[in-house]
Amino acid sequence: MGAYILRRLLLIIPTLVGIMAINFAIIQFAPGGPVERVIAQLQGTDVSATARISGGSGSDLGAGSGQQDFSAGQGVTSKYRGAQGLDPEFVKDLERQFGFDKPPLERFGKMLLDYASFDFGESYFRDIAVIDLIVEKMPVSISLGLWMTLISYTVSIPLGIRKAVKDGSSFDVWTSAVIVVGYAIPGFLFAVLLIVLFAGGSFLDWFPLRGLTSDNWEQLSWPARIVDYFWHLVLPLSAMVLSAFATTTLLTKNSFLDEIRKQYVQTARAKGLTERQVLYGHVFRNAMLIVIAGFPGAFISSFFAGSLLIETIFSLDGLGLLGFESVINRDYAVVFATLYIFSLMGLLVNLISDLTYTWIDPRIDFESREV
C-alpha cells in the first residue's frame, strides 16, 4: 500500500501541471485582461462585476501617471482595446506590473515554481496577498461545504438503506416522491423562498438574512457564539442540501438493492443470520463502496461551485464567490491560485477515497494493480 500511495502522490505533480497548463493556455486567448481593465477604468467605460472590488495597485497607477498621459492625447497603435491616446510607456508599465512583459512560457514556468512553495503573489485589483485573501474567505466555504456534506450523508445513507429494505412499500413511494420534487427545485430558488418565508421577507422573521455571525459576535459567550453560528447556517444549508439528498439517497438505495439480490446474501440468510446481521455485516461494506466513490466529487462541488449562488443570495463572502468575481474581473492571480488549490484538494481527496475503500473492505488491494 505504501508504494501505491507514493505513486499516486507522484502522479499529482503532472496532473496539476496539466490542469494549470490547459487553463493558462485558454486564458491567453480569452478577450480582455487586467491591462485592458485598467485602461477601461481610465476611459470611464469599466463596469466591475461587483461593487466589492476596490481599486488596488493597478487602479492607483491608472489614476496617477496614466491619467496624465491620457490627457496628453498621444495617439498610438496598441494591441490593447481602448489604449489609443495613452502613452506607450504607461502601457508598458502596466504590462510590467501585471507580469505581461514576459513571454507566456516564461510566465507559466515562474508561476509553477512559485505555486510549488504556495507563493501566489498579490491580487491584481485588491491590495492584499492572494493567500491571505483565500484564507480570509476560507471559513465560509469550509462551513458550507463540510456541514452540507455531513448532513447530506448522515441523512441520505440511512434513508437510502431504509428505502432498499422497504422497496416497493408505501414508505418507499412517498419518500421517493419527496426526494424527486426536492431535486427538481433549484437550490437558489428555494433559497429565495426561505428568505421570503423565514428571513423577514413577507412572513416570518426567524433567521438572519446575511453573514455567518451577528455583528455582536465578539461580545457573545462561547455557548452563545455556537448558537449564533448555527442560527445563521440554517437557511443557507437548507437551500444547499435540498438537491444533495436525492443523489446520495437514490445511489445508496440502488447500491443496496443490487447487493441484496446477490447469492451470498441468500447464503447468509440460509445460515440463520438475522436481517440486521446480513445487512450490516455483509451487504453494507460492499454496497457502500459506490457511495464512497462519489464522495470526492460531492465534497469538492459543495465546497466550491455548489455554494456560489447560495453565497451570493445570503451575502456569504466565500471562495465560490471569490473565484467567480476573479474570473469576471480578470484577476488572474486569484483565478489560478484558487484553481491550483481546489485541483490539489480534489486529487488528495480522491486518494483518501481510495484508502477508505481498503478500510471498509480489506479485500481490495490497490497495490496489486497498475496505476
What letter represents residue 87's amino acid?
A: D
DSSP string, 46-111: ---SSTTPPP-HHHHHIIIIIHHHHHHTB----SSTT-TBS-HHHHHHHHHHHTTTS-HHHHHHHH
What are the grid coordinates assigned to 149, written together? 456534506
pLDDT tens per residue across all 371 residues of the chain? 678 888 888 899 999 999 999 988 888 777 677 767 776 666 666 545 443 433 344 444 443 333 334 333 444 445 665 555 566 676 677 667 777 778 888 889 988 998 988 888 888 878 888 898 888 888 888 788 888 888 888 888 889 888 988 888 999 899 999 888 888 888 888 888 888 888 876 778 888 887 788 878 888 888 888 888 889 888 888 888 877 788 788 888 888 888 888 888 888 888 888 888 888 888 887 787 777 766 666 666 666 555 677 887 887 888 877 878 888 888 888 888 988 988 888 888 778 777 777 776 666 666 665 54
Which residue among 77, 106, 130 closes a domain?
130
Distance from C-alpha of 27 to C-alpha of 23, rounded to nearest angstrom? 6
Residues 153 and 58 in one domain: no
Q: Residue 263: what pLDDT? A: 86
Q: Residue 303: what pLDDT? A: 62
26 in any annotated domain: no
Which residue among 130, 165, 181 closes a domain?
130
339 in any annotated domain: yes
29 in any annotated domain: no
110 in any annotated domain: yes
Burial class (CB in 10 A: 0-12, 13-18, 19+), 81: middle
Distance from C-alpha of 171 to C-alpha of 283, rounded to nearest angstrom? 21
For residue 275, what are the domain limits? 131-368
Closest CA to 259 of 230, 237, 229, 280: 280
What is the per-residue burial (b if ≥16 Cβ within 10 Å, else e) of 135-167? eebeebbebbbebbbebbbeebbebbbbbbbee
Residues 43 and 166 in one domain: no
Residues 109 and 157 in one domain: no
Residues 340 and 246 in one domain: yes
Residues 227 and 292 in one domain: yes
Residues 126 and 136 in one domain: no
Distance from C-alpha of 157 to C-alpha of 166, rounded to nearest angstrom? 14
Q: Residue 22: what pLDDT? A: 92
Place of cell 481498503: 358
3 in any annotated domain: no
Q: What is the CATH number of the domain that holds 160?
A: 1.10.3720.10
DSSP string, 133-152: HHHHHHHHHHHHHHHHHHHH
Q: Residue 351: what pLDDT? A: 83
Distance from C-alpha of 300 to C-alpha of 350, rounded to nearest angstrom? 10
Q: Residue 61: what pLDDT? A: 42
What are the grid coordinates assigned to 192, written together? 429565495
Q: Residue 124: what pLDDT? A: 81
322 in any annotated domain: yes
The reply to whether the predicted model has a pTM over 0.85 is no
Which residue among 110, 130, 150 closes a domain?
130
Residues 113 and 148 in one domain: no
- Number of structural domains found in the chain: 2
DSSP string, 35-58: HHHHHHHHHT----SSTTPPP-HH
Residues 305 and 352 in one domain: yes
271 in any annotated domain: yes
